[in-house]
Structure 1
Amino acid sequence: MSLSPELQHRLAQADALIFDMDGTLVDTMPLHYIAWQQVAEHYRLPFSKPRFYQLGGVPTFETLQILSAEAGLEIDLQAAKAMKEGLSRALMPKATPIAETLAIVQQFFGTKPLAIATGSSRAGAQMLLGQLELAHYFDALVTADDVARHKPAPDVFLAAAQRLNVAPERCVAFEDTDIGIEAILSAGMSAVDVRDLIK
């Protein structure tokens, strides 16, 4: 994959690079959708594929709160969250890295600090990164468990920059959803939409 000269320049000038995980670094979104479809069917929650991608990056519990409110249903949120996480764990061995993003990680590994800023739980992120042998590339991992406000709030990206000891405006961050891009821009960082890289 060859990056545009403009993007290469932006990445070269940055002091740190920050990556979302699901759908950006690792191709997990189709697997998460399968799990969500089973949960949605079980709890009779409408959840279309477009709505699923709109909520990409929102932690499981918050997604369930949103969906149940939209449907006007009261469900056992903790039980539904446990169901979704169990189904996802069972599917994650099928996950693979996204080649275009991994190539950027490998290009800058050892020359710039790198971090992950994900809406996944810490346990889920550590499991996936360990399974795919990706953890060693990153100097920091910030998850949904580490911040009070989640995407589209900028907190997870700001926390990643803080852990790298790099000013947000000196970071370039990578995302695959609209709310993720919103979070990056709200953090004062330069954003790269990986959907443009993997077309």
Structure 2
Amino acid sequence: MTLASFDAVLFDMDGTLIDTESAYLEEWVRAAKLQGFEITQDLWHQMLGRPTIDCHQLVQDAFGVGFNMDVFATEYRSRLNDRLRDHVPVMPGVLNLLQDLKVQGTPLAVATSATRKSAEAYLSTAGLRDYFNHIITRDDVDQGKPHPEPFQKAAAALSVAPERCLAMEDTEAGIRSAHGAGTIPIMIPSLKQPANEIAELCHLICSDMQEVHEHLRPTL
């Protein structure tokens, strides 16, 4: 299967460009355990790809009034900052793909559920910031993923029609957002394989960004 021509590429950040979701999971689980609570796999899957404020609400709803969200958030944020301050791993195949797209002059943007501060810091530390013309963060939208707004704004920032944009995502919430925005969704699952209803929304599902690159080579 090959892809038709496209005018721009939009990327999710966590789990798509950079390998941060495993760190998030480990630190969220650890912080919850300090209060005697367990973040189950099912709860974590519900949170994947969603803005932090939504994830906090899911956790609070699951654990109830006996759970101290402020203590939890302070603990996991401190640990994450320590882990990711000096080194943010890049997902396999990302750098080569970005380099090829940049050589071709393809407009690139990020649509992330992270805050502006986190996105700028993580992408800069990973050495990826300069590849992107625009970054749309949780701070730039009224509604986060799975709402279409993040990808709609990313396409608009590049002045490219959504239907001419590829959208790279690793989560179900992200694919719903990309599909709802009218882009061409490509899924690279990281921590969870898509349910059938999500797979049907994808133009392509790849094991990693190297496989995505192979599909795009005929158009580059």
Could you say which TM-score interval applies, normalised by the shorter chain?
0.7 to 0.9
1:71 aligns to what? 63
**Residues 145 and 172 (structure 1 numbering): CA distance in 2 closer, same or farther, change over 3 Å?**
same
Contact 1:54 1:178 in 2 (8 A): no
1:53-132 superposed matches below 5 A: 53-73=45-65, 75-92=67-84, 93-110=86-103, 111-132=105-126
C-alpha distance in structure 2 between counterparts of 1:40 and 1:121, whole Å: 22
Local SS of the residue matching 1:99? coil
The answer for unaligned runs of 5 or more in structure 2 is 190-205, 212-220
What residue number does 1:191 align with? 185
1:101, 1:194 within 8 Å by CA — same for their partners in 2? Answer: no
Residue 133 and residue 101 in structure 1: after superposition, are their counterparts in 2 closer, same or farther (change >3 A)?
closer
Aligned residues: 191
Deviates more, 1:87-96 or 1:26-35: 87-96
Query: Normalising by structure 2, what TM-score?
Result: 0.79
Structure-2 separation of matches of 1:94 and 1:15: 32
The verdict on how the C-alpha distance between 1:75 and 1:97 changes in structure 2, with shifts beyond 3 A counting, is: same
Deviation at 1:40, TM superposition (A): 1.6
CA gap of 1:37–1:170, structure 2 versus 1, over 3 A, is same
**Structure 1 segment 1-199 matched on structure 2, within 5 A:** 5-6=1-2, 9-10=3-4, 13-73=5-65, 75-92=67-84, 93-110=86-103, 111-195=105-189, 196-198=206-208
Alpha-carbon shift at residue 24 of structure 1 (Å): 0.2
Letter of the 2:50 counterpart: V
Deviation of residue 44 (structure 1)? 4.0
8 Å CA contact retained: 2:87, 2:126: no
Displacement of 1:69: 0.9
TM-fit CA distance, 1:74 = 5.5
The alpha-carbon deviation at position 60 of structure 1 amounts to: 1.9
1:54 alignment partner AA: Q
Q: Which runs of 4 or more aligned residues in structure 1 lie more than 6 Å from their structure 2 counterparts after TM superposition?
A: none
Give, as a single letter, the amino acid of the residue that structure 2 aligns with 1:107: D
For residue 100 of structure 1, report the CA deviation from its aligned partner.
2.1
Q: Cα distance, 1:61 vs. partner?
A: 2.3
So what's the TM-score if we normalise by structure 1?
0.87
Contact 2:32-2:72 at 8 Å conserved across structures: no
CA distance in 1: counterparts of 2:35 and 2:52, whole angstroms: 14
Contact 1:39 1:84 in 2 (8 A): yes
Q: Kindly state the Cα deviation for residue 48 of structure 1 after the two structures are TM-superposed.
A: 1.8
Unaligned runs of 5+ in 1: none
